[in-house]
């Protein structure tokens, strides 16, 4: 068996493994299996890539086949192009294996026209196999491909081998459907002889956890297209292999939904929206396990046109939105008519409000009733409009605006310190305690929010110590963000551990309503 270097002589390599997207968008076909959320394929890739990058500094993305559901259908090539764009969005090397559903599409460009090819990433060599299929979906690896893995071992004995193929190799799967290659024994023998470190597959949607046979590790990635939308993270260090499975849904079992509530989600009325709509956001919330979703649109954007809103006209001209409302140019009534029929026990309605230059909320009295929640935010202060803002003045105005919002009885303070990050100013840790004190004094919840933002563990822990309620806000402007609350959960758990004095019990000390619904009375 070829000798490979000890773990410490090779750099760590971190991989995101995706499998079985079965994407259908442009293709003139439909998946015959309802459990496959084929229409979500591109969005699922975006969600998985974003989630993986929160968990690990990635070096490459591996896609284990079946990018599309029917590679022979008209429009499938366009679907493949969209997926390639999404896979490449993180700017990382992408390695793709062709699956049986990909047919003859150029799903794996590196392996085009080859039974096997080699790609080197970070001191590891990846051997990509393109196994042929017969009309019954049986795959058989050719003799030439079997030789390829041995040749890779001889050519670069100091580079550990990762074998990539669509079909699972080990352990055996008992099924009438031919999940495994017809000559898997010969494949395993070739892998043993070549000293393959790890064999990665897809195809079997349930996945198979890491197992070892003959010194070779085998893992099958679960399908991304089926609930709970799983992916793998692989960390290699020499011949050491660590694998984690993660799922995008907040609950792995549909019958046991999560208790988490998303209090901050935008709609098609937002000027800063991506592809989001209210009805589709509600569907996504249910799909990914959100117990309740609050639609909370920017009130200022419902009164003002884009130019005036982004120019913060409400600071220099506090009466501007009242004049727009009186002139019949606002969209507040249209928004209310759109969302009112959507209210249910799983959908709440609200607004995201700011402070104007006169110290009032950007919400007129005639529009204040009938909302379930008001989310207050400091997006801008007057000093930030100066050519060269003074950081000290920014901090003073931030505290003034924050206290005004809390005195005006908003229910939640959104992304409390994001203003500084977006202005590329240091986040003032010395203000954490004063803001937490104000939240406790006024009975306002603090929001954990990761939309163009990073929340501070120290600040959330201070809020918990003072009995401040914590809510989650995806602040979704695109559908891929709705219900993407795993970072919120993890930060809250870490804060609870800190408050509990470093207890090893995850989530120790968390108040039961943290991350849930404050269940406040409706504003009527």
Q: What is the pLDDT of residues 87-120, one digit of tens each?
A: 999 999 999 999 999 987 777 777 776 788 999 9
Cα separation, 287 vs 413, whole angstroms = 27
Within 360-475, strands assigned E span 373-376, 412-413, 445-449, 470-473
Is residue 485 included in any domain, yes or no? yes
- Pair 90, 48: CB distance under 8 Å: no
Within 13 Å of residue 318, how many CA atoms lie on the same side as its CB? 10
Q: DSSP state, 206? A: T
Q: Domain containing 30: what range?
A: 12-247
- Pair 281, 295: CB distance under 8 Å: yes
Radius of gyration of the chain (CA): 26
CATH of the domain at 386: 3.20.20.140
State whether 404 and 459 are in the same domain.
yes
Tell me the β-bridge partners of 211.
218
State whether 232 and 363 are in the same domain.
no
State whether 230 and 337 are in the same domain.
no
Is residue 318 included in any domain, yes or no? yes
State whether 310 and 208 are in the same domain.
no
Predicted local distance difference test score (pLDDT) of residue 103: 83
Domain termination site, one of 200, 215, 247:
247
State whether 385 and 476 are in the same domain.
yes
| Token code pair at residue 373 | 């929640």
Is residue 508 included in any domain, yes or no? no
CATH of the domain at 147: 3.60.21.10
Report how many domains make up the chain.
Answer: 2
- Pair 515, 470: CB distance under 8 Å: yes
Domain termination site, one of 195, 222, 247:
247
Within 13 Å of residue 17, how many CA atoms lie on the same side as its CB? 30
Is residue 382 included in any domain, yes or no? yes
- Pair 318, 360: CB distance under 8 Å: yes
Q: Which of 240, 290, 351 is nearest to 488 (CA)?
A: 290
State whether 282 and 419 are in the same domain.
yes
State whether 400 and 495 are in the same domain.
yes
State whether 203 and 299 are in the same domain.
no
Is residue 252 included in any domain, yes or no? no
Is residue 310 included in any domain, yes or no? yes
Q: How many other C-beta atoms lie within 10 A of the C-beta of residue 467?
A: 11
State whether 467 and 393 are in the same domain.
yes
State whether 160 and 190 are in the same domain.
yes
| Token code pair at residue 197 | 């470190």
Predicted local distance difference test score (pLDDT) of residue 503: 43
State whether 310 and 375 are in the same domain.
yes
Cα separation, 66 vs 99, whole angstroms = 4
Is residue 296 included in any domain, yes or no? yes
Cα separation, 242 vs 261, whole angstroms = 32
Domain termination site, one of 191, 225, 247:
247
User: Which residue ranges in the chain fall short of pLDDT 50?
Assistant: 503-513, 518-524
Cα separation, 213 vs 216, whole angstroms = 5
Predicted local distance difference test score (pLDDT) of residue 217: 98
State whether 322 and 390 are in the same domain.
yes
Is residue 297 included in any domain, yes or no? yes
């Amino acid at each position: 068996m070829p000798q490979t270097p000890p773990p410490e002589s090779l750099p760590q390599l971190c991989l995101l493994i995706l499998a079985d997207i079965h994407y259908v968008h442009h293709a003139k076909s439909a998946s015959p299996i309802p459990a496959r959320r084929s229409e979500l394929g591109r969005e699922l890739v975006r969600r998985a890539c974003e989630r993986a990058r929160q968990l690990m500094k990635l070096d490459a993305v591996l896609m284990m086949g079946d990018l599309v559901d029917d590679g022979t259908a008209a429009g499938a090539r366009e679907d493949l192009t969209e997926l390639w764009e999404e896979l490449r969005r993180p700017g990382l090397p992408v390695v793709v294996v062709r699956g049986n559903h990909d047919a003859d599409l150029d799903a794996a460009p590196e392996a085009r026209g080859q039974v096997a090819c080699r790609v080197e990433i970070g001191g590891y060599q990846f051997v990509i196999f393109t196994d042929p299929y017969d009309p019954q979906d049986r795959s058989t690896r050719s003799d030439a491909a079997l030789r390829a893995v041995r040749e890779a071992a001889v050519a670069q004995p100091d580079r550990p081998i990762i074998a990539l193929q669509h079909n699972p190799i080990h352990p055996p799967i008992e099924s009438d459907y031919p999940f495994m290659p017809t000559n898997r024994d010969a494949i395993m023998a070739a892998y043993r002889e070549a000293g393959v470190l790890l064999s990665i597959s897809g195809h079997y949607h349930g996945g198979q956890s890491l197992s070892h046979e003959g010194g070779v590790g085998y893992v099958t990635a679960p399908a991304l297209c089926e609930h709970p939308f799983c992916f793998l993270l692989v960390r290699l260090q020499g011949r050491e292999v660590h694998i984690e499975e993660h799922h995008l849904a907040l609950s792995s079992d549909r019958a046991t939904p999560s208790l988490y509530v998303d209090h901050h989600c935008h709609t098609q009325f937002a000027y800063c929206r991506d592809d989001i709509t209210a009805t589709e956001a509600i569907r996504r919330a249910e799909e990914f396990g959100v117990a309740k979703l609050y639609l909370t649109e920017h009130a200022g954007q419902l009164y003002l046109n884009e130019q005036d809103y982004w120019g913060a006209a409400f600071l220099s001209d506090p009466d501007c939105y009242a004049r727009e409302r009186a002139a019949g140019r606002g969209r507040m009534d249209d928004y209310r008519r759109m969302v009112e029929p959507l209210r249910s026990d799983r959908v709440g309605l609200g607004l995201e409000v700011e402070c104007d230059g006169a110290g009032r909320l950007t919400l007129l009295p005639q529009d204040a009733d009938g909302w379930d929640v008001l989310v207050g935010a400091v997006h801008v202060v007057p000093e930030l409009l100066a050519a060269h803002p003074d950081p000290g003045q920014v901090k003073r105005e931030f505290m003034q605006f924050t206290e005004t919002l809390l005195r005006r009885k908003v229910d939640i303070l959104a992304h409390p310190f994001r203003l500084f990050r977006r202005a590329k100013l240091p986040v003032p840790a010395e203000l954490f305690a004063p803001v937490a004190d104000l939240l406790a004094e006024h009975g306002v919840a603090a929001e954990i929010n990761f939309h163009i933002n990073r929340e501070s563990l120290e600040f959330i822990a201070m809020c918990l110590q003072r009995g401040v309620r914590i809510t989650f806000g995806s602040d979704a402007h695109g559908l891929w963000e709705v219900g993407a609350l795993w970072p919120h959960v993890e930060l809250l758990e870490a804060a609870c551990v800190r408050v509990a004095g470093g207890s090893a019990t995850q989530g120790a000390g968390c108040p039961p309503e943290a991350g849930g619904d404050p269940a406040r009375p409706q504003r009527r």
